[in-house]
Amino acid sequence: MPAKPAPVRSAPSAPPATVEPCPEGGVRLVEMEGNAAMGLRVADFQLVNCGTQPYVLEGYPQLSLRDDRNDPLEVAVEHGSAGITTGTPNLDEAPRPVTLAPGQAAVFGIVWRNLVTESATPAVTARIVEVEPRPGAPRLWLRLAAPVDLGNTGKLGLGPWQPLAR
């Protein structure tokens, strides 16, 4: 039976040491704590409404990965756990609209396996995520503290937007 890490769905325990200005679009992307058990990886990201108006999300963010030179990586991003694992309810929940008042946050999760299936195919590691929170919104780039080490599977599961439980 494969290990089933529980995604972290709570607010960070300590605020950032410095507060950056609110990006264009009125939202900020934050990397949350992840889980890496036996080659199965789960990571969560928080979108904070740092603007002055409500921010409405629906469905899934658009997500792409980049290497440490900012070059895009060829990765199949599929909704839900995408057959990568089972027992990840936060990733496989049906999408629903989420409205963020100023100061509120939403989260989404990703899942992948660090697996090398072909020795002739190089392993891929993403150091940057690029997220479009909703159609037409400015894209947000985030350099990761914990990179997405896909091996050479080329596949990533993506969960829907969910309100952050406080």
Q: Report the percentage of the chain scoring pLDDT > 90.
A: 72
For the cut 70, the answer to whether the pLDDT of residue 35 exceeds it is yes
C-alpha to C-alpha distance for 59 and 151, rounded to whole angstroms: 28
Q: Three-state DSSP class for 89?
A: helix
Residue 67 within any structural domain of the chain: yes
Q: Three-state DSSP class for 124?
A: strand
Residue 13 within any structural domain of the chain: no
Domain range holding 156? 27-163
Residue 4 within any structural domain of the chain: no
Residue 100 within any structural domain of the chain: yes
The tens digit of pLDDT for each residue in 95-124 reads: 999 999 999 999 999 999 999 988 898 899
- Span 35-56, average pLDDT: 93
CATH assignment at residue 45: 2.60.40
Q: What is the mean pLDDT of the chain?
A: 88
How many structural domains compose the chain? 1
C-alpha to C-alpha distance for 48 and 30, rounded to whole angstroms: 8
- Span 50-65, average pLDDT: 98
CB 29 within 8 A of CB 5: no
Q: Report the percentage of the chain scoring pLDDT > 70.
A: 88
Residue 21 within any structural domain of the chain: no
The confidence score (pLDDT) of residue 165 equals 80
Residue 53 within any structural domain of the chain: yes
The confidence score (pLDDT) of residue 36 equals 79
C-alpha to C-alpha distance for 157 and 141, rounded to whole angstroms: 19
pLDDT: which is higher, 128 or 166: 128
Of 7, 161, 9, the residue nearest 96 (C-alpha):
161
